Amino acid sequence: MNSYSLKGQVALVTGGDSGIGKGVALQLARAGAKVAINHVDAHEVAELTVDEIVSAGGEAYAIHADVSNEAEVQAMFADLYQRFGTIDILVNNAGLQRDSKFVDMTLEQWNTVLGINLTGQFLCAREAAREFIRRGVVAETSRAAGKIICMSSVHEVIPWGGHVNYATSKGGVMLMMKSLAQELAPHKIRVLSIGPGAIQTPINHSAWATPEALEKLLTLIPYNRVGQPEDIGKLAAWLASDEADYITGTTIFIDGGMTLYPGFADNG
Ligand code: NAD
Protein backbone atom coordinates (compact mmCIF):
# COMPACT_ATOMS: atom_id res chain seq x y z
CA MET A 1 0.00 0.00 0.00
CA ASN A 2 1.28 3.46 -0.90
CA SER A 3 1.83 6.02 1.86
CA TYR A 4 0.22 8.61 -0.41
CA SER A 5 -2.97 8.84 -2.43
CA LEU A 6 -3.97 10.30 -5.78
CA LYS A 7 -7.65 9.89 -4.95
CA GLY A 8 -9.86 12.51 -6.58
CA GLN A 9 -7.24 13.31 -9.22
CA VAL A 10 -7.54 12.85 -12.97
CA ALA A 11 -4.58 11.65 -15.02
CA LEU A 12 -3.97 11.40 -18.76
CA VAL A 13 -1.23 9.05 -19.94
CA THR A 14 -0.29 9.39 -23.61
CA GLY A 15 0.67 6.11 -25.25
CA GLY A 16 -0.86 4.47 -22.18
CA ASP A 17 -1.67 1.21 -23.94
CA SER A 18 1.84 -0.24 -24.11
CA GLY A 19 5.15 -0.59 -22.29
CA ILE A 20 6.07 2.22 -19.92
CA GLY A 21 2.81 4.13 -20.44
CA LYS A 22 0.80 1.09 -19.43
CA GLY A 23 3.02 0.59 -16.37
CA VAL A 24 2.45 4.23 -15.40
CA ALA A 25 -1.31 4.06 -15.95
CA LEU A 26 -1.61 0.97 -13.73
CA GLN A 27 0.34 2.58 -10.88
CA LEU A 28 -1.53 5.90 -11.09
CA ALA A 29 -4.80 3.98 -10.89
CA ARG A 30 -3.47 1.88 -8.02
CA ALA A 31 -2.80 5.14 -6.14
CA GLY A 32 -6.42 6.18 -6.69
CA ALA A 33 -6.33 8.43 -9.78
CA LYS A 34 -8.92 8.20 -12.55
CA VAL A 35 -6.91 7.50 -15.67
CA ALA A 36 -7.47 8.30 -19.34
CA ILE A 37 -5.47 5.93 -21.53
CA ASN A 38 -4.48 7.67 -24.75
CA HIS A 39 -3.66 5.46 -27.71
CA VAL A 40 -3.01 5.83 -31.41
CA ASP A 41 -3.09 2.10 -32.24
CA ALA A 42 -6.01 -0.33 -31.98
CA HIS A 43 -8.70 0.59 -29.48
CA GLU A 44 -9.00 -3.03 -28.31
CA VAL A 45 -5.41 -2.99 -27.04
CA ALA A 46 -6.04 0.14 -24.95
CA GLU A 47 -9.21 -1.49 -23.61
CA LEU A 48 -7.05 -4.27 -22.12
CA THR A 49 -5.33 -1.71 -19.88
CA VAL A 50 -8.71 -0.17 -19.02
CA ASP A 51 -10.06 -3.63 -18.11
CA GLU A 52 -7.04 -4.33 -15.90
CA ILE A 53 -7.60 -1.07 -14.01
CA VAL A 54 -11.36 -1.50 -13.70
CA SER A 55 -11.12 -5.10 -12.52
CA ALA A 56 -8.73 -3.93 -9.77
CA GLY A 57 -11.42 -1.46 -8.63
CA GLY A 58 -10.11 1.64 -10.44
CA GLU A 59 -11.61 4.02 -12.99
CA ALA A 60 -10.27 4.40 -16.53
CA TYR A 61 -11.22 4.85 -20.15
CA ALA A 62 -9.44 4.73 -23.49
CA ILE A 63 -9.19 7.68 -25.82
CA HIS A 64 -7.72 7.85 -29.30
CA ALA A 65 -5.49 10.72 -30.50
CA ASP A 66 -2.29 11.16 -32.44
CA VAL A 67 -0.32 13.42 -30.07
CA SER A 68 1.46 15.10 -32.97
CA ASN A 69 -1.87 16.37 -34.37
CA GLU A 70 -3.08 19.62 -32.77
CA ALA A 71 -6.77 19.14 -33.56
CA GLU A 72 -6.76 15.55 -32.27
CA VAL A 73 -4.99 16.60 -29.05
CA GLN A 74 -7.51 19.39 -28.44
CA ALA A 75 -10.41 17.01 -29.10
CA MET A 76 -8.87 14.50 -26.67
CA PHE A 77 -8.69 17.08 -23.87
CA ALA A 78 -12.27 18.23 -24.59
CA ASP A 79 -13.40 14.61 -24.33
CA LEU A 80 -11.46 14.15 -21.10
CA TYR A 81 -13.15 17.19 -19.51
CA GLN A 82 -16.57 15.88 -20.52
CA ARG A 83 -15.78 12.51 -19.02
CA PHE A 84 -13.79 13.37 -15.87
CA GLY A 85 -14.30 17.16 -15.54
CA THR A 86 -10.68 18.30 -15.41
CA ILE A 87 -7.05 17.14 -15.37
CA ASP A 88 -4.53 17.04 -12.50
CA ILE A 89 -1.72 14.89 -13.90
CA LEU A 90 -0.42 14.71 -17.47
CA VAL A 91 2.10 12.00 -18.29
CA ASN A 92 3.63 12.91 -21.64
CA ASN A 93 4.78 9.41 -22.49
CA ALA A 94 4.03 8.67 -26.17
CA GLY A 95 7.17 8.21 -28.21
CA LEU A 96 8.88 6.15 -30.87
CA GLN A 97 12.14 5.55 -32.69
CA ARG A 98 12.89 5.68 -36.40
CA ASP A 99 16.54 4.65 -36.42
CA SER A 100 18.99 5.26 -39.22
CA LYS A 101 22.58 6.11 -39.94
CA PHE A 102 22.67 9.90 -40.01
CA VAL A 103 23.67 10.20 -43.67
CA ASP A 104 20.79 7.93 -44.68
CA MET A 105 18.19 9.49 -42.39
CA THR A 106 15.16 10.71 -44.30
CA LEU A 107 13.34 13.92 -43.51
CA GLU A 108 10.31 11.78 -42.78
CA GLN A 109 12.22 9.78 -40.13
CA TRP A 110 13.43 13.04 -38.59
CA ASN A 111 10.03 14.77 -38.66
CA THR A 112 8.13 11.73 -37.37
CA VAL A 113 10.31 11.39 -34.29
CA LEU A 114 10.46 15.12 -33.53
CA GLY A 115 6.73 15.49 -34.27
CA ILE A 116 5.66 12.81 -31.78
CA ASN A 117 8.41 12.84 -29.14
CA LEU A 118 8.80 16.63 -28.86
CA THR A 119 5.91 18.49 -30.55
CA GLY A 120 3.47 15.92 -29.15
CA GLN A 121 4.69 16.71 -25.63
CA PHE A 122 4.37 20.46 -26.35
CA LEU A 123 0.78 20.12 -27.60
CA CYS A 124 -0.38 18.04 -24.63
CA ALA A 125 1.51 20.13 -22.04
CA ARG A 126 -0.03 23.33 -23.43
CA GLU A 127 -3.59 21.98 -23.12
CA ALA A 128 -2.96 20.70 -19.59
CA ALA A 129 -1.30 23.97 -18.49
CA ARG A 130 -4.28 25.98 -19.77
CA GLU A 131 -6.65 23.90 -17.62
CA PHE A 132 -4.36 23.96 -14.55
CA ILE A 133 -4.18 27.77 -14.72
CA ARG A 134 -7.92 28.13 -15.33
CA ARG A 135 -8.83 25.90 -12.38
CA GLY A 136 -6.00 26.63 -9.93
CA VAL A 137 -5.22 24.62 -6.81
CA VAL A 138 -7.93 22.40 -5.36
CA ALA A 139 -6.63 21.99 -1.83
CA GLU A 140 -8.56 18.78 -1.11
CA THR A 141 -6.81 16.90 -3.91
CA SER A 142 -3.27 18.32 -4.19
CA ARG A 143 -0.98 21.15 -3.09
CA ALA A 144 -0.19 21.77 -6.78
CA ALA A 145 -2.51 23.14 -9.45
CA GLY A 146 -1.20 20.41 -11.73
CA LYS A 147 1.67 18.12 -12.58
CA ILE A 148 3.26 17.48 -15.98
CA ILE A 149 5.57 14.48 -16.15
CA CYS A 150 7.57 14.19 -19.37
CA MET A 151 8.94 10.79 -20.39
CA SER A 152 12.46 11.66 -21.43
CA SER A 153 15.38 9.21 -21.56
CA VAL A 154 18.99 8.76 -20.55
CA HIS A 155 19.47 10.01 -24.12
CA GLU A 156 18.70 13.55 -23.04
CA VAL A 157 22.33 13.47 -21.82
CA ILE A 158 23.92 10.42 -23.51
CA PRO A 159 24.57 11.05 -27.22
CA TRP A 160 23.31 8.19 -29.41
CA GLY A 161 24.78 7.62 -32.85
CA GLY A 162 22.40 5.95 -35.28
CA HIS A 163 19.53 7.54 -33.35
CA VAL A 164 20.23 11.26 -33.85
CA ASN A 165 16.54 12.12 -34.29
CA TYR A 166 15.60 10.33 -31.05
CA ALA A 167 18.42 11.82 -28.94
CA THR A 168 17.61 15.28 -30.34
CA SER A 169 13.96 14.86 -29.36
CA LYS A 170 14.88 13.92 -25.79
CA GLY A 171 17.42 16.74 -25.49
CA GLY A 172 14.61 19.03 -26.61
CA VAL A 173 12.25 17.59 -24.03
CA MET A 174 14.81 18.41 -21.33
CA LEU A 175 14.90 22.15 -22.07
CA MET A 176 11.19 22.31 -22.83
CA MET A 177 10.54 20.75 -19.42
CA LYS A 178 12.95 23.09 -17.58
CA SER A 179 11.70 26.24 -19.32
CA LEU A 180 8.09 25.23 -18.69
CA ALA A 181 8.83 24.46 -15.05
CA GLN A 182 10.36 27.91 -14.66
CA GLU A 183 7.43 29.66 -16.35
CA LEU A 184 4.67 27.69 -14.64
CA ALA A 185 5.99 27.41 -11.06
CA PRO A 186 4.28 30.69 -10.00
CA HIS A 187 1.00 29.04 -11.01
CA LYS A 188 1.83 26.15 -8.63
CA ILE A 189 2.33 23.78 -11.56
CA ARG A 190 5.13 21.24 -11.30
CA VAL A 191 6.87 20.08 -14.48
CA LEU A 192 9.52 17.38 -14.47
CA SER A 193 10.96 14.50 -16.43
CA ILE A 194 11.65 10.85 -15.90
CA GLY A 195 14.79 9.63 -17.65
CA PRO A 196 14.53 5.84 -18.07
CA GLY A 197 17.51 3.71 -19.02
CA ALA A 198 16.79 0.37 -20.71
CA ILE A 199 13.24 -0.72 -19.90
CA GLN A 200 11.87 -3.95 -21.34
CA THR A 201 9.16 -2.82 -23.78
CA PRO A 202 8.31 -3.22 -27.48
CA ILE A 203 10.30 -0.07 -28.40
CA ASN A 204 13.65 -1.82 -27.79
CA HIS A 205 12.61 -5.45 -28.39
CA SER A 206 15.75 -6.27 -30.39
CA ALA A 207 17.97 -5.06 -27.51
CA TRP A 208 16.74 -7.73 -25.04
CA ALA A 209 14.98 -10.42 -27.08
CA THR A 210 17.96 -12.78 -27.54
CA PRO A 211 20.52 -13.91 -24.91
CA GLU A 212 23.35 -12.33 -26.97
CA ALA A 213 21.57 -8.98 -27.25
CA LEU A 214 20.70 -9.02 -23.55
CA GLU A 215 24.30 -9.78 -22.55
CA LYS A 216 25.50 -6.82 -24.62
CA LEU A 217 22.82 -4.56 -23.16
CA LEU A 218 23.75 -5.52 -19.59
CA THR A 219 27.32 -4.28 -20.12
CA LEU A 220 25.72 -0.80 -20.15
CA ILE A 221 23.82 -1.33 -16.89
CA PRO A 222 25.96 -1.52 -13.70
CA TYR A 223 22.99 -2.78 -11.67
CA ASN A 224 22.86 -5.73 -14.08
CA ARG A 225 19.19 -5.98 -14.82
CA VAL A 226 16.87 -4.52 -17.43
CA GLY A 227 14.20 -2.21 -16.02
CA GLN A 228 10.49 -3.01 -16.08
CA PRO A 229 7.53 -0.70 -16.80
CA GLU A 230 6.49 -1.13 -13.18
CA ASP A 231 9.76 0.51 -12.05
CA ILE A 232 8.83 3.62 -14.00
CA GLY A 233 5.16 3.46 -13.00
CA LYS A 234 5.98 3.51 -9.29
CA LEU A 235 8.26 6.52 -9.74
CA ALA A 236 5.68 8.40 -11.82
CA ALA A 237 2.93 7.86 -9.26
CA TRP A 238 5.17 9.09 -6.45
CA LEU A 239 6.32 12.12 -8.45
CA ALA A 240 2.69 13.00 -9.16
CA SER A 241 1.85 12.88 -5.46
CA ASP A 242 2.28 15.60 -2.84
CA GLU A 243 5.16 13.54 -1.40
CA ALA A 244 7.15 15.11 -4.26
CA ASP A 245 5.58 18.58 -3.92
CA TYR A 246 8.94 20.40 -3.86
CA ILE A 247 10.30 18.68 -6.98
CA THR A 248 10.04 20.63 -10.22
CA GLY A 249 12.24 21.40 -13.22
CA THR A 250 14.48 18.36 -12.99
CA THR A 251 14.94 14.93 -14.54
CA ILE A 252 14.91 11.87 -12.30
CA PHE A 253 17.03 9.20 -13.98
CA ILE A 254 15.91 5.63 -13.34
CA ASP A 255 18.44 3.54 -15.18
CA GLY A 256 20.29 1.01 -13.02
CA GLY A 257 23.36 3.26 -13.35
CA MET A 258 23.44 3.62 -17.14
CA THR A 259 24.32 7.32 -16.82
CA LEU A 260 27.37 6.47 -14.64
CA TYR A 261 29.70 5.93 -17.65
CA PRO A 262 30.01 2.15 -16.97
CA GLY A 263 32.81 1.88 -19.57
CA PHE A 264 35.07 3.69 -17.06
CA ALA A 265 34.35 1.31 -14.15
CA ASP A 266 37.62 -0.68 -14.36
CA ASN A 267 39.68 1.87 -16.21
CA GLY A 268 40.86 4.16 -13.36
P1 NAD B 1 6.26 1.42 -26.51
O2 NAD B 1 6.49 1.33 -27.96
O3 NAD B 1 5.82 0.23 -25.75
O4 NAD B 1 5.23 2.58 -26.19
C5 NAD B 1 5.15 3.78 -26.91
C6 NAD B 1 3.73 4.26 -26.88
O7 NAD B 1 3.62 5.50 -27.60
C8 NAD B 1 2.78 3.27 -27.58
O9 NAD B 1 1.61 3.15 -26.80
C10 NAD B 1 2.49 3.94 -28.90
O11 NAD B 1 1.26 3.57 -29.46
C12 NAD B 1 2.49 5.40 -28.45
N13 NAD B 1 2.58 6.32 -29.58
C14 NAD B 1 3.45 6.32 -30.61
N15 NAD B 1 3.15 7.31 -31.45
C16 NAD B 1 2.06 7.94 -30.96
C17 NAD B 1 1.27 9.03 -31.39
N18 NAD B 1 1.53 9.67 -32.53
N19 NAD B 1 0.22 9.43 -30.62
C20 NAD B 1 -0.07 8.77 -29.48
N21 NAD B 1 0.64 7.72 -29.03
C22 NAD B 1 1.69 7.32 -29.76
O23 NAD B 1 7.62 1.99 -25.90
P24 NAD B 1 8.01 2.46 -24.44
O25 NAD B 1 9.36 1.96 -24.19
O26 NAD B 1 6.95 2.13 -23.46
O27 NAD B 1 8.12 4.04 -24.66
C28 NAD B 1 7.39 4.98 -23.88
C29 NAD B 1 8.23 6.23 -23.70
O30 NAD B 1 9.37 5.92 -22.92
C31 NAD B 1 8.75 6.84 -25.00
O32 NAD B 1 8.67 8.26 -24.92
C33 NAD B 1 10.20 6.40 -25.02
O34 NAD B 1 11.01 7.28 -25.75
C35 NAD B 1 10.51 6.42 -23.54
N36 NAD B 1 11.70 5.64 -23.15
C37 NAD B 1 11.70 4.27 -23.27
C38 NAD B 1 12.83 3.57 -22.88
C39 NAD B 1 12.91 2.07 -22.94
O40 NAD B 1 14.00 1.53 -22.71
N41 NAD B 1 11.85 1.35 -23.22
C42 NAD B 1 13.94 4.25 -22.38
C43 NAD B 1 13.89 5.64 -22.28
C44 NAD B 1 12.76 6.31 -22.67
Q: Is the CB of 196 under 6 A from ligand 1?
A: yes
Question: Which residue's C-alpha comes closest to atom 19 of ligand 1?
Answer: 66
- Which one from 4, 166, 246, 261 is the annotated catalytic residue? 166
For the chain, what is the HEC assignment?
Answer: CCCCCCCCCEEEECCCCCHHHHHHHHHHHHCCCEEEEEECCCHHHHHHHHHHHHHCCCCEEEEECCCCCHHHHHHHHHHHHHHHCCCCEEEECCCCCCCCCHHHCCHHHHHHHHHHHHHHHHHHHHHHHHHHHHHCCCCCCCCCCEEEEEECCHHHCCCCCCCHHHHHHHHHHHHHHHHHHHHHHHHCEEEEEEEECCECCHHHHHHHCCHHHHHHHHCCCCCCCCECHHHHHHHHHHHHCHHHCCCCCCEEEECCCHHHCHHHCCCC
Average pLDDT, the chain: 97
Residue 268 has pLDDT above 70, yes or no: no
Q: How confident is the model at residue 72 (pLDDT cuts 50, 70, 90)?
A: very high
Ligand 1 centroid–CA 10 distance in Å is: 21
Domain residue ranges of the chain, discontinuous segments joined by +: 10-199+229-256
Cβ count within 10 A of residue 63:
20
Amino acid 160: pLDDT = 98
Ligand 1 centroid–CA 268 distance in Å is: 37
Q: Of all atoms in ligand 1, which is nearest to the CA of residue 196?
A: 43
Amino acid 2: pLDDT = 82
For 101-148, write each residue's pLDDT tens digit.
999 999 999 999 999 999 999 999 999 999 999 999 999 999 999 999
Q: Whole-model pTM above 0.95?
A: yes
Mean pLDDT, residues 231-245: 98
Cβ count within 10 A of residue 44:
10
Each residue of 233-266: b (16+ CB within 10 Å) or e?
bbbbbbbbbeebeeebbebbbbbbebbeebeeee
Homologous superfamily of domain range 10-199+229-256: NAD(P)-binding Rossmann-like Domain (3.40.50.720)
Q: Is the CB of 145 under 6 A from ligand 1?
A: no
Instruction: Determine whether 4 is an active site residue.
Output: no
Ligand 1 centroid–CA 263 distance in Å is: 27
Q: Are 29 and 60 in contact (CB under 8 A)?
A: yes
Amino acid 1: pLDDT = 67
Which residue type sits at 85? Answer: G
Q: Of all atoms in ligand 1, which is nearest to the CA of residue 116?
A: 18
